[in-house]
Amino acid sequence: MPTRPTIVIDSYGGVDSPLRALRVAADLSLTRRVQIVLVGHAPVLHAHLATLSYDPANLRLVGTSIDYPPHTGDHLAEHRVLHRTLPLCLSLLEQGEGDALVTAASESVVWQVVTERCQRIRADIAPAMAAVIPTLARSSSDDPFALVLDVSGNSSANARQLRSWAALGGAYSRVVSGVRRPEVALLSTGRDQDQGPQSVTQAYRALQTHTDIQFVGNIQAVDIPRGLADVVVCDGFTGNAVRGVLEGVTQLTVEAARYAWRSKFAWRAGLRLLSSGVGMLKQVSEFQRYGGAPILGLQQLVFVTQPDASQLALENGVRLAAKCVDRELLQALELALEQVPKEPS
């Protein structure tokens, strides 16, 4: 019988920690498709699990003496707790006691901890945080989204890093989304090769000669929802800003539709015609379907869900992590980066 993936869940992250993580761990243990390791404050975990149905053969508790962060908006206290607990979660991966980590902690804290602690697949290539952006349907994929990376908020990226992230994104799209030959684009200010900052124009020339990547050129931010590429590559500052704007517009659209539905009969009649599209937009924008953002380029698999993500989103984050383990994503990322030339010494 094949070995089931072992997924570590951090119960300290998220706006209602640890309750959501506890429910997800208990529910998934009953499916017997994945082994769960739940990290959290031992007395609290034991007390709440006594009220839930779960399979102890598929759920292991790793208890700590660290209290959960207060739910009072004290971000400094939250960060102090997470800087102690996330390394404990990562140590389980390093010791071979877990295959991947799923956390709902703040992206900025996760990014800081993992980039300080985790080894890179290649020391000369920085990791990138990826995110899904809803798009129109595309012939290349059944999933209506584009993978955008980097979205970490780190603004530093030269042409070689952009080229490396194109390789990582392409490998992820092939393995996880099943796109045979993902179309990869650079995010820039225009379609022409010479438009955009120097790092983008240099990366454009390099990607034109990269035979393992189906490079389709530059696209602009407005082109991402149109589905003009499966993978969109940019620096972390730009990606973070673009994702925030697109998610904000999506949420505004959903809220406007709700208001219109409540307000006027004529608007309700029109919205009935659009209900399936608005529903799909809401589903994708809330990360219900895809579960979170992977950090690519590390020797460990780490997935970050939104702190206020629903229980379904966190469950799907765990399922996504298990899928990546089953399909040997790390090996695919290593092979992809082998095609990126080393920095001249």
Q: pLDDT higher for 271 or 312?
A: 312
> What pLDDT is attached to residue 287?
45
Highest-confidence segment of 67-71, 118-122, 136-140 = 118-122
Residue 333 in this model has a pLDDT that exceeds 90 = yes
Q: What is the pLDDT of residues 74-110, one digit of tens each?
A: 788 888 999 999 999 999 999 999 999 999 998 999 9
Report which secondary-structure segment, H or E, holds 195: none
Q: What is the pLDDT of residue 315?
A: 92
Residue 135 three-state SS? coil
pLDDT, residue 341, reads 81
Lowest mean pLDDT among 5-9, 121-125, 153-157, 218-222: 153-157
Domain 128-288+333-338: which CATH number of 2.60.120.460, 3.30.390.30, 3.40.50.880, 3.40.718.10: 3.40.718.10
Distance CA 233, CA 166 (A): 6
**How far is it, in rounded angstroms, from Cα 323 to Cα 179?**
15
pTM over 0.85: yes
Answer whether 6-118 and 128-288+333-338 agree in fold: yes
| Domain range list for the chain | 6-118, 128-288+333-338
Q: What is the pLDDT of residues 236-280, one digit of tens each?
A: 898 888 887 776 665 655 555 555 545 555 455 544 545 544 544
- Under DSSP, is residue 332 helix (H, G, I), strand (E, B) or coil? helix
Q: Are 62 and 37 in contact (CB under 8 A)?
A: yes
Run of H or E residues at 231: strand 231-233
Secondary structure tally for the chain: helices H, strands E: 10, 11
- Distance, CA of 294 to CA of 132 (rounded, Å): 10
* The pLDDT of residue 167 is above 90: yes
Place of tokens 């998934």: 28
Q: Which CATH number fits domain 6-118: 3.40.50.2000, 3.40.718.10, 3.40.50.1100, 2.60.120.10?
A: 3.40.718.10
Four-residue CA torsion sign, 272, 274, 279, 282: negative
For range 21-43, the mean pLDDT: 94
